[in-house]
Amino acid sequence: MIQHARVICTSFLVAALGLSAAAIAQKPFADVGKQPPITILIGSTPWYPAFEKVVGIYEQQTGNKIKLDVVPFGGILEKARNAVRSGQSPYDLMTLDTQWTIEFYDGGFLSPLKEIDAAFELPKEVLSYGDSGYWNAQKRWRTADGGKLMAYTVLGNVQLLYYRGDVLKQAGIAPPKTWDDVLAACAKLNEPPKMYGFVARGEKGNGIRYDWQSVMLAERASVAKDPAAGDYTVTINSPQAKAALDLYIDLLKRCGPPNYGSLGQGDVIQLLATGKAAMGDVVTAAFASFEDPNKSAVVGKLDTVALPRGRSGANGAVIGNWNAGIPKNASDPQKKAALSFLRWFVTYDAQHAFAENGGIPNRSDVFTSDLAKQPRFRWMPAYLETQKFAQQELGYAEGAQVEQVLGLRLNQALIGEMSSAKALNTAAREIEDIFRKSGRKTGTLPPLPE
């Protein structure tokens, strides 16, 4: 049965799976044969409970065993780095946040999936998520064009705009279509401390970087000019990026709680779930918790739309997917066992069960299945709409370093330690230095007036 770093008893597993999952486990799934036990590195994310339940179904269906090492977000990368550099990896499968994958692709630390089994193919229904599972070693870029399949998306997160349909309707406000609409609506709805008009992450690090970049993309701004073509000229200190940062700061300061500069994902979810926020920018994977009466006071009251347009007229959203890859230093039998689970997990039945248990499926046919007609899956249209314009960011080997810079400087601008112009100019110089040390063709824009 499923095991974590700690032992999980059978009664807990039964409770975790629930009757619906047990019933699902009676359905026919892909036959992957008898495999040795595997260990998976995974984060304690909002979507983890759904993954755990589907792993339980896999065990019931196949008799094969899986141990889950569940790690807080901040500790996953270090564990993964240590694993691939050890004699033999303690993990047979690792789930990695999308911006971390490049380091593992570029360093040769993962086994291309078709080298484990030449017959392995992703079904055509699987969404591409910006080709983030592929790696073209010559171009040093994630692309299926000349690239090898190194991993695939087990969870394709994007941010959605959550809003209280009842609150907006009572106030005579239509669901926002632009970020200016969000600002106008949140200012009208803001009644602290009873209800905050809008919440999003402001904490230093991945939180503010990821959430802000959706606004950045909506203003047609970028971190670098054209990295896919090898041009790493740093453009983060453009007037468009400054407009996006000023708007983000205005939103959080005017409409968020007093601790807006330290809000993390759990805080944003909690404010929405307790009815303390009228609107929020948060991951799709959080939706299931808002429909759980054990966790939410707003069951049936939160609706979603795709993230709004910027003043440029564009929509922006950052793909925040998690990819599952197999360490190169795992043993051959363990690699095959891990790939057997991946082959099972990507089937229609498994993805349908994943969605039923609160996960985000990676197959287009699940989004058009019977599930889409159910109220608890009312987020699906907004999610599919977002896939039309969502983009991968930081898709280069230096991505983790660039995130560290942005995560610090954006937060400093938010909490008033720097002006927005100074924060972006400082970030631009630091990112240029990172690219230069890596031998990239780089440079910067003229500094913004400070």
Residues 145 and 275 occupy one common structural domain: no
CB-CB neighbours of 307 under 10 Å: 28
pLDDT tens digit string along 26-51? Answer: 455 678 999 999 999 999 998 999 99
Looking at residue 27, its pLDDT comes to 52
Q: Are residues 128 and 188 in the same domain?
A: no
Is residue 307 situated within a structural domain? yes
CB 253 within 8 A of CB 245: no
The pLDDT of residue 19? 36
Same domain, 79 and 179: no
Question: Which residue range is the domain that position 184 belongs to?
Answer: 159-318+396-444
The answer to whether residues 123 and 191 belong to one domain is no
Q: Please indicate, yes or no, whether residues 96 and 226 belong to a single structural domain of this protein.
A: no
Query: In this structure, is residue 63 part of a structural domain?
Result: yes
**Rounded Cα gap, residues 446 and 243, in angstroms:** 16
How many Å apart are CA 379 and CA 377, to the nearest integer?
Answer: 5
Concatenating the DSSP letter of every residue in 372-400 gives GGSGGGTTHHHHHHHHTT-B--S-STTHH
pLDDT tens figures, 314-348: 999 999 999 999 999 999 999 999 999 999 999 99
- Contact call for residues 423 and 245 (beta carbons, < 8 A): yes
Domain match, 128 and 218 both: no
Q: Determine, yes or no, domain membership for 4.
A: no
Q: 54 and 36: one domain?
A: yes
174 and 201 co-located in one domain = yes
* Domain assignment of residue 86, yes or no: yes
The phi and psi torsions of 280 (rounded to 5 degrees) equal -165, 155
Q: Residues with Cβ < 8 Å from 312, sequence gap 6 or more?
A: 218, 219, 220, 240
- Total-model pTM: 0.86
Would residue 286 count as lying in a domain? yes
Same domain as 401, residue 365: no
Predicted pLDDT of residue 26 = 44
**Closest listed residue to residue 394, CA positions, set 383, 409, 405:** 405
3-state secondary structure of 178: strand
Count of domains forming the chain: 2
Question: Alpha carbon of 287 to those of 3, 243, 301, 367, 378: distances in Å?
Answer: 26, 30, 11, 15, 10
Q: What local confidence, expressed as pLDDT, does residue 8 receive? A: 31
- Domain assignment present for residue 178? The answer is yes
The reported pLDDT for the residue numbered 137 is: 93
Same domain, 35 and 142: yes
Within the chain, which residues score under 50 in pLDDT?
A: 1, 3-26
CB 339 within 8 A of CB 151: no
CATH number, domain containing residue 122: 3.40.190.10
> Is residue 82 located within the same domain as residue 195?
no
Give the chain's mean pLDDT.
92
User: Is residue 390 in some structural domain?
Assistant: no
Alpha helix stretches (DSSP H) within 142-258 = 165-170, 179-189, 206-218, 239-255
Same domain? 310 vs 325: no
CB environment 387-413: b (16+ within 10 A), e (fewer): bebbebbbbbbbbebbbbbbbbbbbbb
Q: 131 in a domain, yes or no? A: yes
